[in-house]
RNA sequence: UGGGGUGUGGUGUAAUUGGCAACACAGCAGUUUCUGGUUCUGCUAUUCGGGGUUCGAGUCCCUGCACCCCAACCA
């Protein structure tokens, strides 16, 4: 497969960066930053931004900072900081130096705010949020200037210092930029720069009583760090004039960074909004941020998605300004591509049916050799015990086979992988007519899985020796959201949650070598799919993704 | 409602910047195979609508339409 090999290494962002380099802007330097707010864990959407930020810097010989945009003490937490650092490292990216924090720049931002006040470009407004909002006007409607807009510099300075010193109640005053209350872009109608919060901050504690807003903090943080290209998602498009306005009125230490927006990543059958993901966790709909159904990095990791597959996917889909939603199947194809090449093969029977070899010598145990990964001969072979009493998959036996059914059925000969040809001679059923035991004879001449006389079989099946099996469980996952685009019908994505998105099979029978799998290891259960060993619970496996299944498609078509 | 952004097969992304619309996923038909996996081959299918400029338009011009974003003291 070649879809991961040739990622499109060109797009409008790279073109723009190249043009900047050619024109000598930033002295040919390229520096980016990944700026998460520590109020949740990273998800697949962040992976796209991370890949862009880091790969771009790398391609142009620059660096990428990790900067926590921690300007809102209400929602942020050090647990998220740690989690984000961990997830970024797992994804495979090394930030430039230590993690940085917008909160480290609070002092500088404060100084610059006083600078704007002194220039008559910012003022303290004593009105409440609702009044300010109303005065902002609406689309196509004029705004109304605040009665406090024309305060003197000295008065503003004094009030602002009192704000900093915690002398006022939350919500009683804000600092606003004095721009234009009639501007057609709402972002420029005197935006709020500082609000009063007496909440302790996860890093600065109780040192500050005022906190900068995103807009006031972001571009300035970029400038302080020497970021050249500040990449963000499309919804900040209308903020760019404000980003530029702040920067243009400040005595910056270096070059003025440039903001560029790109379309965020959306995937079918899932949501990537921190708010909604938090709801899934807090309402107990999933087991936590690392539930294997979650599109979070830690969820995908627990599900068994290789980091390299996620990176390749993100590079492959490229970057544009068109809002779009990728099919989850594309991501899965990258996962299969990586896992096919790397995952060790194991025999696991998820829905066991007893198979008795009637002509097997009483008590004999054979050790048969099977390959660990046909895609990589370096992975070698292993020995698996075979005996007269085995488990096979319920799906692999039919008393009354439908058309095109190649598996075991009365009178038919099939191969047990790496072992022998067996021919079904009979079967028992329970009261409901469900098979309970299948009987077969084996051909000793076919040991190893080939007939000396050259006869062929239509099917090769996996199996586990009953007396040697280790037992465990397997969690099978469906899409968390049944609809391609959650919320299309009712407007609320939560209405499209599939209540049966997970089913856990107990009493699965695994070949003995699976007792030694490492926590988190991902293997292929032959003919079934890729499964990830749970990091905490031994012999619990999460189905990462199934194999392509032609038989399933034949059945679906009827 | 004012402003900004975006429209290319079923999905997503390209097109040497005006020169045979390509790549991947999905689907279909074969091939290979000790996994109904993998491999390999082939097939299906695309420029939002309407005008215009041009030998030639996905690309330029005019016009219409659709979708997304912006009126938090969130980011």
Q: What does the pLDDT average to over A51-71?
A: 97
- A3 pLDDT higher than 60: no
Chain segment A423-453, per-residue pLDDT in tens: 999 999 999 999 999 999 999 999 999 999 9
Report the distance separating Cα A203 and Cα A70, nearest Å: 9
- Assess whether A393 (CB) lies less than 7 A from strand B: no
Q: Is A12 helix (H, G, I), strand (E, B) or coil?
A: helix
Of A476 and A76, more confident: A476
pLDDT band at A8, cuts 50/70/90? Answer: very low
Let me know if A184 is a catalytic residue.
no
Please give the ipTM for the structure prediction: 0.96
For A285, the enclosing helix (H) or strand (E) is none
Chain segment A277-329, per-residue pLDDT in tens: 999 999 999 999 999 999 999 999 999 999 999 999 999 999 999 999 999 99
Chain segment A339-350, per-residue pLDDT in tens: 999 999 999 999
Name the catalytic one among A274, A293, A382, A417: A274
- A489 pLDDT higher than 90: no
Which nucleotide is closest to the Cα of A236 by its C1'? Answer: B69
Q: Per-residue b/e over A317-331, b at no fewer than 16 CB within 10 Å?
A: bbbeeeeeebebeeb
Q: Measure A552 CA to B48 C1' (Å).
A: 37
Residue A277, Cβ density class (10 Å: 0-12 exposed, 13-18 middle, ≥19 buried): buried
Let me know if A264 is a catalytic residue.
yes
Chain segment A449-474, per-residue pLDDT in tens: 999 999 999 999 999 999 999 999 99
Q: What does the pLDDT average to over A46-61?
A: 96
* pLDDT computed for residue A9 by the predictor: 63
- Assess whether A260 (CB) lies less than 7 A from strand B: no
Q: What does the pLDDT average to over A7-18?
A: 81
pTM of the predicted protein model: 0.96
Chain segment A390-436, per-residue pLDDT in tens: 999 999 999 999 999 999 999 999 999 999 999 999 999 999 999 99
- Assess whether A324 (CB) lies less than 7 A from strand B: yes
Name the catalytic one among A18, A25, A149, A264: A264
Nucleotides of B under 7 A from a protein CB: 1-8, 10-15, 17, 23-28, 34-40, 67-75
Give chain A residues 347-386 with Cβ within 7 A of strand B: 373-375
Chain segment A127-138, per-residue pLDDT in tens: 999 999 999 999
Give chain A residues 484-503 with Cβ within 7 A of strand B: none
Which nucleotide is closest to the Cα of A395 by its C1'? Answer: B36
Let me know if A37 is a catalytic residue.
yes
Question: A541: how many CB neighbours lie within 10 A of its CB?
Answer: 31
Task: Spell out the long-range contacts of A481-489 with Cβ–Cβ below 8 A and sequence spacing 24 or more.
Answer: A481/A269, A481/A270, A481/A271, A482/A269, A483/A269, A484/A268, A484/A269, A484/A325, A485/A268, A485/A325, A486/A269, A486/A270, A486/A271
pLDDT band at A365, cuts 50/70/90? Answer: very high
Q: What is the pLDDT of chain A when averaged over all its residues?
A: 96
Give chain A residues 178-217 with Cβ within 7 A of strand B: 184-187, 191-192, 195-196, 211-215, 217
Chain segment A207-249, per-residue pLDDT in tens: 999 999 999 999 999 999 999 999 999 999 999 999 999 999 9
- Assess whether A142 (CB) lies less than 7 A from strand B: no
Q: Measure A371 CA to B21 C1' (Å).
A: 45
* pLDDT computed for residue A414 by the predictor: 98
- Assess whether A40 (CB) lies less than 7 A from strand B: no
Question: A558: how many CB neighbours lie within 10 A of its CB?
Answer: 5
- Assess whether A127 (CB) lies less than 7 A from strand B: yes
Q: What does the pLDDT average to over A514-527?
A: 98
pLDDT band at A4, cuts 50/70/90? Answer: very low
Question: A526: how many CB neighbours lie within 10 A of its CB?
Answer: 18
- A179 pLDDT higher than 80: yes
């Amino acid at each position: 497969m070649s879809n991961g090999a040739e990622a499109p290494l060109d797009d409008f962002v790279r073109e723009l960066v190249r043009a900047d380099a050619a024109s000598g802007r930033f002295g040919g330097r390229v520096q980016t930053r990944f700026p998460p707010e520590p109020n949740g864990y990273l998800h697949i959407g962040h992976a796209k931004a991370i890949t862009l930020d880091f790969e771009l810097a790398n391609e142009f010989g620059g660096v990428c900072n990790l900067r926590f945009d921690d300007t809102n003490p209400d929602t942020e937490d050090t647990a998220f900081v740690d989690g984000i650092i961990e997830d970024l490292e797992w994804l495979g990216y090394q930030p430039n130096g230590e993690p940085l924090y917008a909160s480290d720049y609070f002092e500088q931002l404060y100084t610059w705010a006083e600078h704007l006040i002194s220039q008559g470009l910012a003022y303290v407004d004593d009105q409440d949020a609702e009044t300010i909002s109303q005065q902002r006007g609406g689309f196509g409607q004029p705004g109304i200037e605040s009665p406090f807009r024309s305060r003197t510099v000295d008065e503003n300075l004094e009030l602002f210092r009192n704000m900093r010193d915690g002398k006022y109640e939350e919500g009683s005053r804000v600092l606003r930029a004095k721009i234009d209350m009639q501007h057609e872009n709402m972002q420029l109608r005197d935006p709020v720069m500082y609000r009063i919060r007496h909440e302790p901050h996860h890093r600065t504690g109780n040192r500050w009583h005022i906190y900068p807003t995103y807009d006031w903090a972001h571009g300035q943080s970029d400038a302080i760090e020497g970021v050249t290209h500040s990449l963000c998602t499309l919804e900040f498009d209308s903020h760019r004039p404000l980003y530029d306005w702040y920067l243009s009125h400040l005595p910056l230490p270096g070059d003025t960074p440039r903001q560029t927006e790109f379309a965020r990543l959306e995937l079918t059958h899932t949501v990537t909004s921190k708010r909604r993901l938090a709801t899934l966790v807090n309402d107990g709909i999933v087991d936590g941020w690392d539930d294997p159904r979650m599109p979070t990095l830690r969820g995908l990791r627990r599900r068994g998605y290789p980091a390299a597959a996620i990176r390749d996917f993100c590079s492959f889909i490229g970057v544009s300004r068109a809002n779009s939603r990728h099919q989850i199947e594309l991501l899965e194809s990258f996962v299969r591509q990586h896992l096919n090449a790397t995952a060790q093969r194991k025999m696991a029977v998820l829905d066991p049916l007893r198979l008795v070899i009637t002509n097997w010598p009483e008590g004999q145990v054979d050790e048969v050799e099977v390959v660990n990964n046909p895609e990589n001969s370096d992975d070698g072979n292993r020995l698996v015990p075979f005996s007269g009493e085995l488990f096979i998959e319920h799906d692999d036996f039919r008393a009354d086979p439908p058309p095109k059914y190649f598996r075991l059925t009365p009178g038919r000969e099939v191969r047990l992988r790496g072992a022998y040809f067996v021919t079904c001679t009979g079967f028992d059923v329970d009261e409901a007519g469900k098979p309970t035991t299948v009987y077969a004879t084996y051909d000793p001449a076919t040991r190893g899985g080939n007939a000396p006389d050259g006869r062929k079989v239509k099917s090769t099946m996996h199996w586990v020796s009953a007396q040697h099996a280790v037992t465990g469980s397997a969690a099978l996952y469906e899409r968390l959201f049944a609809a391609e685009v959650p919320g299309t019908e009712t407007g609320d994505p939560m209405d499209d949650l599939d209540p049966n998105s997970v089913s856990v099979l107990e009493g699965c029978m695994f070949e003995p070598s699976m007792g030694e799998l490492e926590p988190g290891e991902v293997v292929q259960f032959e003919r079934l799919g890729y499964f990830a060993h749970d990091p905490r619970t031994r012999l619990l496996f999460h189905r990462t993704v199934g194999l392509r299944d032609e038989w399933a498609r034949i059945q679906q078509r009827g």
